[in-house]
Structure 1
Amino acid sequence: MSDEETGVFSFRASRFIDTSFKVHGETAEQSTRTGDRGILISDDGEQRAETLRNITYKKRRLRLRPSKLNDSLAQWIPVPEDKTGELNEELRATLNGISATDEGRKRKLYVTSDHPMHEFQGVQQDFLNELLRLCGLGDSIDDPECALCHLKLNPKATAPVDEHAAQEDGTVSAPPAETPVDRRIFRCSDCGEFLQCKQCCLGRHAWTPLHLLKLWKDGCWEDDTLKNIGLIYQLGHQGAPCLTPNPTIRLMVVLDTTGIHQIHYRQCGCDRSDQMNPRQELLRNAWFPASAIDPDTCATLRVLEAFRLYNVIGNLNCHDFVTAQERKTSALGSTGVVKMPDRYREMLRMARQHSFLTIAKRNALAHAPGVWRQLSRGRWWRDVEAKYRYLYRTILALDANFKLKNRIRTHEREDPPLAPGWGAWVDPMRYKEHLKQYIAENDASTCIAFAALTQKDTRHTDGLRVSGVGAAVCARHECVRPNGLGDLQKGERYANMDFIAMSAVAGFDGMELTFSYDIACQWGKNLRERVKKLPEDLRLDFEAILFQTGLPVWHASSHEAECTNMNSLSFLPGVGKTDGEGIERLWAELNAFAYHTKQMGLGHRADSLEDKINYHNFMKNLGLGDILRRKLLVAIAEREKQVAAWKEVNKSIPTEVRAAWQERVDAFLADRTAPNPYLISAKDGLSEADIRAALKADKVEAASKGTTPLHGTSATAFLTAGLQLEDTQRRIKAEIAGTTLVTANRESEIQESRLAFLSKLRVFRGLQEVYTPAAIRAVERLERNRNPDAAAVKAENIKLFLPSDLTEAEMEAKLREAQCGDAVGGTVGGQHGATRANSLVGQISDRIAALSLKYNHARAALLRLKGPNYAPFFKPLKESDLTLDADVNDDEASGKKRLSLAAAGKGGRTPRHVAGTSRKVLSWIWAARGALDPDESDLHESLRVEWARAKARKTRWDEEVNLLREEMRRVLRYLEWETQTWRAHTTASRDAGDLPIATRAGLEAYAIKQAAVHERLRAFFYAKLNVSLDAAAASVLDDEGALNPLFEGTHKCNQN
């Protein structure tokens, strides 16, 4: 029924909003439906209806969990743990470097594999004889014949005269149509060690002209060539005959893996030659010409690829490679005895061009000319909740290297790079234009005096046009970023590093970005202002992203304490256990390459380093399956340990105290200018003068204790006196064993303490006659057994024979328990303050040593008195329990050791064990009874800092587990993207109508191959990562015991 028929009127009412949720697949989005509301009223006014017209839909993002993203891998959990989320005992033992299954079982010894050289020594003469046997005719010495046609050969035969003569114009005429039968003996090691006649040798090598030939002459084998015996290779037909060959016979020098060859060849003259020029004719024969016009030197593609691998893997330079090829051709090659064509410059040029083309081919430049591929982050990741965004954060490391220098060369020709700004290097022209605007930077450091800052304009660069390079790499996986490498002209100037850093993130579409830099505390200060001077497309929009800078964990220890605790990656949320030191491992790899790039032209140097970096990135990506799995095993084990330690310690802290401390941490994370919870407040800390006064007071108290008269005969007084004497002995021992210098004055104090001890010991012996007569009998028995000629026992070594040495005593047990509490509290307080005065630190260390000795002695006596189950909160006090962050000033060394070793994979050198804090758990002494004394404000502040740092460690390890699992998903996503991209190129290659059909077929075949390779890699990685935690640990452990070094640090800690 129409509006006109019913007399209904329509009007635009207030905005009507209908909200509905749609969930399709794994994609969740919220849709808001808006439009004009129409009200329909019947003629009798009894009925009313509403409709929504002119409907529009407005989408509004939902904040989702990562598992709800529109991705097939979003809900997949790589290397999952069991349902309890805890490690079983066997796996925990494995991850701690202890294998229960291997205990008591020895591996069987195999002489052949364990001692192969011993076995060889017994048969070395046999090997030598057989090698020399190959120098003769072998079994054919009596009756040599051709293995192919069975022609009888003559060891003394000579070549027929005038086989073919050289012409005056340099060309070579064809040999005569009929020649006498040649019965000389030939052998080709590339074909096999069998004998051949000349005719069979020529026929067999018509398609393989690059074999090395040997001729039997004068009773031995001599080097010969196929050219010398008349082989003429036919180009255009891969050696097959041409119906109308070009009559001119030309000479070509070809470099191959078998050596350097001089080849006679003819060009094609049939219809096929109309479709190709001489350059194409050589390339279609897999020979790379040294010049584009009329080449006379070529290199096979296989020798170019071989050199490229030797170069990027073994850092072999081109000169040494060509020399080796000359020696392979002839033992006397490159010595002047045998004339050898010098093709070093040609090989250098061909290798450089071939490497560039290889990179272009692998980046699909032939399939999409002029377009370098870029991988976007995909869809939906922006919709995740804020607390999960760190999973998609970009974390980069920035640093400079001054080993990769380049010298100024006189009379240098223009040498442009083949791919300027296309790969790892920044755009050289824009970079130079930017540096022309450079003005000396006078920024004063507010931290320590960094060499990077003090030498940025004064670094010694005589004779150098490049003093080093700056780079931005992925801090998680150590891959060099696109446009993340640039030359330095002086020192580590901000103008250079800013351009490199911003080029590496040009077009950044993420929401969170972190830069790790060893001078980040200074570099980041005015970065926003300096970036405004960069080209517009390099200006990062700091307002649209969460941007933060941090210090690499190892370098952070060299900064001021306040700077370290403010900027270390250990305390930055969302970075996991990223150490920021991966770029140093890149430098270690590139430094070996610096020697032969030092003298190169700038363009050649840029191309060589580009090739090296491409290989570096490729191998890093290829190893991610094993590396991520190993790292995850380390992270899960450490997370469990940190969480368990955190829960235990957290229970001992009152709820209201924890809440106050947590508020301080939250405030700092929200605003970095708030008080730093990871640093002891200056007003609460003790100054050097305060510590000296406290130590002096301790000495006065010790002296007073040594002269305090014993009074009364109560049992309590008796036991107290015994414990005081025991304490005096410990103090004397600690004083003697101290690390500080023992001066004459201190020696006098020690002697006075001994005299005071001996005088009071006589009184104590009298009391023992009353309370513990057995002690006197033990003293007398010990004295009777002592050697009368031996020196008297020193005071600190005299056995007191306290009741715990004789029988159980309740009163001493109570005193011992109090002693334990006092001693452990003293060690906590002793850990608190740190000073830069070495002598003072030595005295504090002596004090801690004495207190720990006192505690362990008292605990041992307490266990004898009350049994092993008494006072379980008093645990054995180890040296590791006394080590604190402020003492070692090494925030990540030990924990990152295992992650670094995991990244190195098999064969990596095991770093020396260094105690650090990333794997450090909060010492039990903080949770011991009486540790949190409200009257001990200094102790309270120390505990707060340790609590905050322990929570940061726990949080970072938890982030690390989540980051690693997301990275595993990302690996598979990337490989899937690569597969789909190459499949799309496969289809596009068929439709490239402007290319010859054979070229289109080659493009299609290459795309199919690349798609298959990446699909195979994806399946390979998925199989590695889609296993249980137990299976992953067992697999890594079986991999040549590679897991043992990863968990060596944990094993050592457990043994302490």
Structure 2
Amino acid sequence: MSNPRKRGRVLKSIPELSFAIEDTPHLRVASLSADGRRVKERRIDFTPPSPVKHRGSRLQVEQFTNFQDDIAMPGANEINNSDDELDDTEDVPARRSNVADNPLAEFKGKIFDYLKEFMQLEGRGSELRPCLCGQTEEAVYRCRDCSSGRLSCKPCLLKEHRCRPFHYVEMWNGAFFQRTTLKQLGLKIQLGHPQGHMCLMPQSSRSGFVVVDIDSIQEVDVQFCMCQEPEHVGEHWQQLIRYELFPATTHQPHTAFTFRLLRFFHTLTLQGKVTAYDFYYAIHKRTDGVDLGDLKNRYEAFTRVIRLWRHLKILKRGGMGNMAESSLQSIKRGGLAVRCLACPNPAVNLPDDWQLAASSQSFIYRKFIAVDACFRLKRRLISSEEQDPGLGTGYTYFVPQDEYRPFQKNSGEQKEVSHCLSDLAAISQANTKYSKGYATTGVVLCICARHEVVEPNGAVDLDKGEKYALTDYAISASQTLSDECLTRVLCYDIACQYHRNFFRRIPNLPDSVQMPVYEDRWEFAVPKLHIRGHGVDCQQNFSLHLQKGMGQSDGEGSERHWGNEGPVATSTREMGPGHRRDTIDDHFQSYSHQKRIGLGDLLGRRLYEAEKQEKVHAEEFTRFCESQQEHVAEWTKSVADWENGVSKDNPYVVPDLGDTEKDVRLAYAQAEAEEARKGVSALHEISPSAFMEMMLEIEEEQQLLLLDLRSQSYSTVHQKTELISRRARLHRAIGRIRNLQKVYTPLVLTATSLDLTNSSSEPELINILLPSDLEQSLLSNPEMKSWVEMELKFRRGQLRSSLHKVRSHVFIRRGLHQKRSMDVRGQRESTKARKQLARNDEMLNESKQRFQKAWNAAKALLGGRDDLIGYPYLTDDDVRPLEDPDLEVKRNVRKMKGTQFQEEQRKLLVPGESRKTTSWIWNQFDAEGDSSSMHAAIRLEWMKARARSLRWKEEVLLLKEEMRRTKVSLEHEAQEWLSRAAADTERNAISEGTTAYALRQAAIQRGLSTKFQAIWDKKRPEKKRKETSSAVPNDGSDSDSEEGDL
């Protein structure tokens, strides 16, 4: 859509530049007559220039006044002022619309011309002349794959296509172009000899030999060489391979697929997740879109060949082509998997004395792993392990099945009780995860948490839900392939529960995958996004923000990985078990490879951002420390003791400094029991505190009944009966209260103007006459003082307990929403999920209204002083989940990126502004509002500021170490390839190929190292110069995924 036409720009006149000209530019030339008695003057007019452009207004006056004409003419400097000046202003036409404003507008006007050109291509066009060869044979053939579209005679066409035997050829039949094949025209493909050489004993292929190319399926005439010894020229399938045709069978092949086709599909399916079915039948339709011909269907052969192609590529990239044939039988578990370059590997990229590093530096040698399950990667009850065992299961990412399948079968049901506030589906549905009709319900995967490279042997199939035993298998099988001395950080969305009994479960695994158990070398954390759905206890003990040595790891790499691999489920769910594992292994391999080659940009970008944020947060923390100098030493010691394991008291856990309702009730019961022990007589068998509790319970029952009346119609007989019963119980309870009020608070009954004898009102609307319901004049009476104090204590307890319930139901609501969006499928499950959400919302609303009622009552008891309550009033906007301020800021920055200036981004990132996204309900500690509560709040904020500063400092150190390890790993792999090249001492065609491949791979590894170093050397200075010299937005996190947000 083009921009609306703008008004012309108004420009000031030339006189405003300090001089004026007449209406028409001219010169006055004076000369003497021949007799010297008269002066002749004549005027020379010039053609006016085009209207002054916008850029002309930027010229300085001096540029005009200093102007010297190249031609000296009499009177040239006599530019006279005139009354006929130019107008003060003139309208300059608006900018002419650009084709780029609406690129289709110009095309639309010529669409019929385009159509005519298309129609011309259906005929011979202007090529109505003999073939260029000059022979008499008519030029009636053309190739649709050759871009010229030139007509040729038959001999010329065959000559031109000796090296292009699979092109799409057409013949003019006198009326239109009709498709034909090069085989029908007599083209033969000779194998076993260089192009142009003749075979003395050619053997034609079987009739109907089909070749599938990238844009056609056609029969060809293949000539196998029989004039040489088989040891030299090879068998038929070998001759095809050397011509870059992959045979569908080894014995007497009659179908082959071009390498070009297989390369293209392999790349396309890895990048775009295109299925083999869609790809093959797209070629089928391109060959014969109306199915008029007898086109051979080779789909099953294609799926078989592409599976072999994938497997061979994995073997080749793993260096197996440079080994002896016997080495294929001795491939170790995970031996062909792509390894992470930046993760610690003592045998490859760590210094010899890495274990002697100081405790303050040892965190840079940690191995971060993340584990998660994907339930999209299901497999139906199709085929079996016996019929389809897989070509390379165990070589890369899926564990070997010979030991895993018996273990999976005998793992039994999981009996775990969740201690987390969140509704963790991994626990609640561990035994019931949509298994009907499926042999496999999903995959558990272990990956490198910081760089998202899949861990070797880190994938296992699930038969139902996300059972601990199967997750244990994936973790242990992958970690037995790395050094046992490394300290590991396990990021898991249920780590708060999963870590319980983790070290007791590992010995139950098979010996071959059982890793050594060193409890002091394992740490557990919940990923940053998932932890927002956990309770406060989890956020205080399993947060990556708070744990020492975590840097800015977010632990969410597995989620990003599933976002890439999820679409593969479209095709793999219908495969046999082995075919499915081979396919998913190939996608895991490709994903890991892309992460490897992107490490240069990723680490460079992260380091630039980390160094910038480290400075910002260090300055913020320094200012905080300066304002709390008297407490810094004490606070530092408490948090350092906890981080170093000296103390088990988590300093981020703020104790509840106030009393709950139960605490208040217990305190009054103890006081009344003490009075009874001393012989103080009671006014009634129901104690004063019990009397107050009864009134509060009746008030709460009234509120619940009012809520039910608003949400229900009570139209059925059963509902009406229930309503009558509830109201009758309330009436009787209010009657008992009135009798007790005559004993304890007769002043209230005599002073109130309410008609206490009228029982016709609905009981939910009757005023109970609690002290908070009375006027201030009555509350000031000395007889009411003890009752006011008692109700205020109970109200404070209600505020604390209600706020706790509000928090709990907000957490539960978030978890239910996530569960419904990610796991719930089908009408029955959706209905059940909606009911759970509705019930939780009802309970949340009840707790919110209970808090509001208690807050209003406390305000009345305090004489209207809401500042003495200690809590703000709870609004609907306050009832929202706990947000991570950093993530919220980054989310906003990402929205603004490319559309706002850097000044606006800087305003968004003002320290402290991001905390406004967090509701006050997560920052309240004590309703009393005293100094101890304020001290606890300040201490917690100081520790959070310290944690932010330290995490960014750690991130800088981690990234620098990861950069070093990446370069060392690349050089190590280059040396391995060079050693493979040197080990091959034979002199034949195969040896030359293996040596060339090894040398090329070594060059690639060193090329990546050079490229990475160049990125790291130049990216940061360029970023800094850009930041100081340009207003272009630059927030340092220029990625489209969460990996740039660490």
User: Partners of 2:592 and 2:490 in 1: how far apart?
Assistant: 19
Which of 545, 549, 554 pairs up with 1:579?
Answer: 554
Map 1:714-793 onto structure 2 (within 5 A). none
Instruction: Name stretches of at least 5 consecutive residues in structure 1 with no aligned partner.
Output: 1-107, 155-182, 697-742, 757-828, 855-878, 907-912, 1050-1056
Q: CA deviation at 1:116?
A: 2.9
Q: Does 1:260 align with 2:217?
A: yes
Aligned residue runs from structure 1 range 181-580, under 5 A: 184-190=140-146, 192-237=148-193, 239-251=195-207, 252-271=209-228, 273-275=230-232, 276-332=234-290, 335=291, 337-368=292-323, 369-370=327-328, 371=331, 372=335, 376-380=348-352, 381-409=354-382, 414-448=387-421, 449-509=423-483, 510-543=485-518, 546-580=521-555
Matches of 1:1037 and 1:145, distance apart in 2: 68
Identify if the C-alpha distance between structure 1 residues 537 and 1038 changes in structure 2 by more than 3 Å, giving closer, same or farther: farther
Helix, strand or coil: the match of 2:426?
helix
Change (3 A) 1:1031 1:1045: closer
**Preserved contact between residue 893 and residue 914 of structure 1 (Cα < 8 Å):** no
Mapped partners of 1:358, 1:586: distance in 2: 22
Per the alignment, do residues 568 and 145 of structure 1 end up closer, same or farther by CA in structure 2, a change over 3 Å counting?
same
Q: Distance in 2 between matches of 1:974 and 1:322?
A: 40
Task: Find the aligned partners of 2:1023 and 2:935 in 1 and give their Cα distance.
Answer: 43
- Corresponding letter in the other structure for 2:254: D
Residue identity matched to 1:318: A
d(CA) in 2 for partners of 1:202, 1:125: 37
Distance change (3 Å), C-alpha of 1:897 and 1:685: farther
* Separation in structure 1 between the aligned mates of residue 570 and residue 515 of structure 2, nearest angstrom: 36
Tell me, yes or no, if structure 1 residue 128 matches structure 2 residue 115. Answer: yes
- Residue 915 and residue 537 in structure 1: after superposition, are their counterparts in 2 closer, same or farther (change >3 A)? farther
Residue 140 (structure 1) aligned to one of 127, 131, 148:
127
Whether the aligned pair in 1 keeps the contact of 2:349 and 2:968 (CA below 8 Å) is no
Task: Work out whether 1:1016 is the aligned partner of 2:1026.
Answer: no
Give the Cα separation in 2 of the matches to 1:185 and 1:941: 89
> Do the aligned partners of 1:553 and 1:892 also contact (CA within 8 Å) in 2?
no
Structure 1 equivalent of residue 135 of structure 2: 151
What amino acid does structure 2 have at the position aligned with 1:187?
Answer: C
367-376 vs 946-955, which deviates more? Answer: 367-376
Q: Check the 8 A contact 1:311/1:317 in 2, yes or no.
A: yes
Amino acid at match of 2:418: S
Q: Deviations over 1:648-667 (max 9, x none)?
A: 22212142x22222222122
Q: Aligned in 2, Cα 1:943/1:110: closer, same or farther, shift over 3 Å?
A: farther
Pairs within 5 Å for 1:983-998:
983-989=978-984, 991=985, 993=986, 997-998=988-989
| Other structure's SS at 2:117 match | helix
Q: Aligned-pair distance for 1:112? A: 4.6
Partner of 1:867: none
From 849, 852, 855, the counterpart of 1:839? 849
Deviations 1:377-396 (A, max 9, x none): 34323343222121121111
Partner of 2:38: none
8 Å contact kept, 2:127–2:150: no
Q: Secondary structure at the match of 1:595?
A: helix
Within 2, Cα distance between the matches of 1:1037 and 1:424?
46
Aligned pairs, number: 742
Aligned residue identity for 1:622: I
Asked if the contact 1:186/1:198 (under 8 Å) is kept, the reply is no
- Alpha-carbon distance, 1:978 to partner: 2.5
Aligned twin of 1:666 = 640
Cα deviation per residue 1:523-577 (whole Å; 9 max; x = unaligned)? Answer: 1111111111123343333338621111112211222211221112222211111
Match of 2:884 in 1: 891
What is the CA–CA distance in structure 2 between the aligned matches of 1:1035 and 1:914, rounded to whole Å?
20
1:953/1:424 CA distance change after superposition, 3 Å:
same
1: CA distance, partners of 2:857 / 2:551 = 37
1:211-251 CA deviation, whole Å, 9 max, x = no partner?
Answer: 11111123322211001111121111255343312344534
> Secondary structure at the residue paired with 1:570?
coil
RMSD value over aligned CA atoms?
4.6
Output the amino acid matched with 1:151. Q
Structure 2 vs 1, CA of residues 513 and 197 (structure 1 numbering), >3 Å: closer, same or farther?
same
Q: CA deviation at 1:191?
A: 6.1
Hey, what's the Cα distance between the residues in 2 that align with 1:1038 and 1:537? 59
Map of 2:931 onto structure 1: 936
* 1:673-722: CA deviation from partner (whole Å, max 9, x where unpaired): 7221112113x2564799999xx9xxxxxxxxxxxxxxxxxxxxxxxxxx
Structure 1 residues 322 and 202: CA distance shift in structure 2, 3 A: same
In 1, are the aligned partners of 2:882 and 2:918 still within 8 Å (CA)?
A: no
Unaligned runs of 5+ in 2: 1-94, 340-344, 668-691, 693-763, 778-798, 807-846, 865-872, 900-906, 921-925, 1041-1046
8 Å contact kept, 1:894–1:919 = no
2:588 corresponds, among 613, 631, 636, to: 613
**Paired amino acid for 1:524:** H
Q: Which amino acid aligns with 1:428?
A: Q
From the superposition, tell whether residues 349 and 627 of structure 1 become closer, same or farther in structure 2 (CA, over 3 Å).
same
**Counterpart contact for 1:894–1:915, Cα < 8 Å:** no
For residue 193 of structure 1, give the secondary structure of its aligned residue in structure 2.
coil
Are the counterparts in 2 of residues 356 and 607 from structure 1 also a CA contact under 8 Å?
yes
Percent of aligned pairs sharing the same letter = 28
Is the alpha carbon distance of 1:185 and 1:516 closer, same or farther for their aligned partners in structure 2, counting shifts above 3 Å?
A: closer
What is the distance in 1 between the residues matched to 2:356 and 2:595? Answer: 30
Query: What letter corresponds to residue 663 of structure 1 in structure 2?
Result: K
- Displacement, 1:609? 0.7
Asked if 2 retains the 8 angstrom alpha-carbon contact of 1:466 and 1:488, the reply is yes
Rate the CA distance shift 1:189–1:616 in 2: closer, same or farther, 3 A.
same
TM-score normalised by structure 2 residue count: 0.64
CA contact (8 A) 1:513 1:545 kept: no
Contact 2:143-2:170 at 8 Å conserved across structures: yes
What does the per-residue CA deviation read over 1:839-896, in whole Å, with 9 as the maximum and x for residues that have no partner? 36668999999xxxx9xxxxxxxxxxxxxxxxxxxxxxxx9xxx99x98523366169
Contact 2:307 2:579 in 1 (8 A): yes
Task: Map 1:827-866; keep pairs closer than 5 Å.
Answer: 836=806, 837-839=847-849
- Quote the Cα distance in structure 2 between the aligned partners of 1:617 and 1:557: 28
Give the distance between the partners of 1:580 and 1:393, measured in 2 at CA: 14
Between 1:1010-1019 and 1:288-297, the stretch displaced more is 1010-1019
CA distance, structure 2, for counterparts of residue 1045 and residue 845 of structure 1: 46
Match of 1:626 in 2: 601
Q: 1:935 to 1:402 in 2, by over 3 A?
A: closer
Amino acid at match of 2:470: N
Residues 604 and 1019 in structure 2, CA contact (< 8 A), matched pair in contact too: no
Cα distance change, pair 241–273 in 1 and its aligned pair in 2 (3 A)? farther
DSSP-derived class of the 1:465 partner: strand
Residues 841, 391 of structure 1: alpha-carbon distance in 2 compared, 3 angstrom cutoff: farther
Which secondary structure does the structure 1 equivalent of 2:322 belong to? coil
